[in-house]
């Protein structure tokens, strides 16, 4: 299976980041996460870029989470802490890009894919898109407090609890209703709509947008809790997490024990 890559295309005033691993619904590998981080660092220095569009290759998914096979190398809760810390670095690099970001969600935005979409400034989706964090059904791990805070910002605490406790997927219509999505667009119209949104952004004053975006980021993050190592370690260091990985990869039901 390919490790995939994150492709960055630069145009006159905007850039497109494409998660390119369609055979795995664009599930993120460590290599892809690193490429996303590197692209963000370079884009943040490029003052000619006024907007960044993020989308998945193949039209079947935005990003369907982190590739679970990689977690087989984890042996202790400390591995989970290091993973979540590094993930936060990467997500923060995207969240703090000085120009607006648009996530274009076709079908699946799950787990790490939902975390990526949640830090984008605008999100549009096809009507068949689905959003979720089914970790209590699949792996038995957890998200960081900062990622939960972002999801609560976008969906509200009640919906996030449904996504977590019931492993429930939120429909595109409900995501639109609660304000997580800007709008729904049919697949054959989505490219034209992206072009319109990009043009709208680049026609506006970039310094106003940059300052406003940074101010909003500071306000929203001012109440974020400290990094929650104890909670992360309790999940990633558990027998349940190892059993969840084994069950998911081997397509057998996991017997969760709470150990």
How many domains are contained in the chain? Answer: 1
Q: Does 246 map to a domain?
A: no
d(CA 84, CA 252): 26
Q: Per-residue pLDDT averaged across 19-39, rounded?
A: 97
Report the chain's C-alpha Rg in angstroms. 18
Q: Could you identify the residue written with the tokens 């390919």?
A: 2
CATH of the domain at 14: 3.90.226.10
* Lookup: tokens for 36: 């996303």
The CA-CA-CA angle for residues 112, 95, 146, to 5°, reads 60
Is residue 95 included in any domain, yes or no?
A: yes
What is the reported pTM? Answer: 0.91
Residue 218 lies in a domain: no
Q: Which helix (H) or strand (E) holds 200?
A: helix 190-202
pLDDT, tens digit, for every residue of 153-184? 999 999 999 999 999 999 999 999 999 999 99
The answer to whether residue 154 sits within a structural domain is yes
- Assess if residue 72 is contained within a domain: yes
The per-residue pLDDT for range 89-147, each reduced to its tens digit, is 999 999 999 999 999 999 999 999 999 999 999 999 999 999 999 999 999 999 998 99
**Do the domain assignments include residue 11?**
yes
User: Per the domain annotation, does 13 fall within a domain?
Assistant: yes
> Which stretch of DSSP H or E encloses residue 64?
strand 61-64
Query: Which residues constitute the domain of residue 51?
Result: 5-187
Domain-located, residue 257: no
């Amino acid at each position: 299976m390919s490790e995939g890559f994150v492709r960055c295309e630069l145009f006159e005033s905007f850039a497109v980041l494409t998660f390119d691993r369609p055979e795995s619904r664009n599930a993120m590998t460590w290599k892809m996460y690193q490429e996303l981080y590197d692209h963000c660092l370079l884009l943040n220095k490029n003052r000619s870029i006024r907007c960044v569009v993020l989308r998945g290759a193949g039209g079947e998914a935005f990003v369907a989470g982190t590739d679970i096979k990689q977690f087989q190398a984890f042996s202790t809760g400390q591995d989970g802490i290091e993973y979540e810390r590094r993930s936060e670095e990467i997500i923060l690099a995207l969240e703090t890009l000085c120009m607006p970001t648009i996530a274009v969600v076709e079908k699946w935005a799950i787990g790490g894919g939902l975390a990526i979409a949640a830090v984008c400034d605008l999100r549009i989706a096809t009507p068949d898109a689905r959003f979720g964090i089914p970790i209590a059904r699949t792996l038995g791990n957890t998200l960081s407090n900062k990622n939960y805070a972002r999801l609560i910002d976008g969906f509200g605490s009640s919906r996030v609890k449904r996504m977590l406790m019931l492993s429930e997927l939120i429909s595109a219509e409900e995501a639109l209703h609660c304000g997580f999505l800007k709008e729904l667009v049919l697949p054959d119209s989505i490219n034209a709509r992206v072009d319109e949104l990009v043009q709208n952004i680049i026609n506006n004053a970039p310094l106003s947008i940059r300052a406003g975006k940074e101010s909003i980021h500071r306000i929203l993050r001012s109440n974020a809790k400290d990094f929650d190592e104890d909670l992360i370690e309790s999940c990633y260091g558990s027998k349940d997490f190892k059993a969840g990985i084994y069950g998911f990869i081997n397509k057998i039901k996991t017997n969760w024990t709470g150990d």
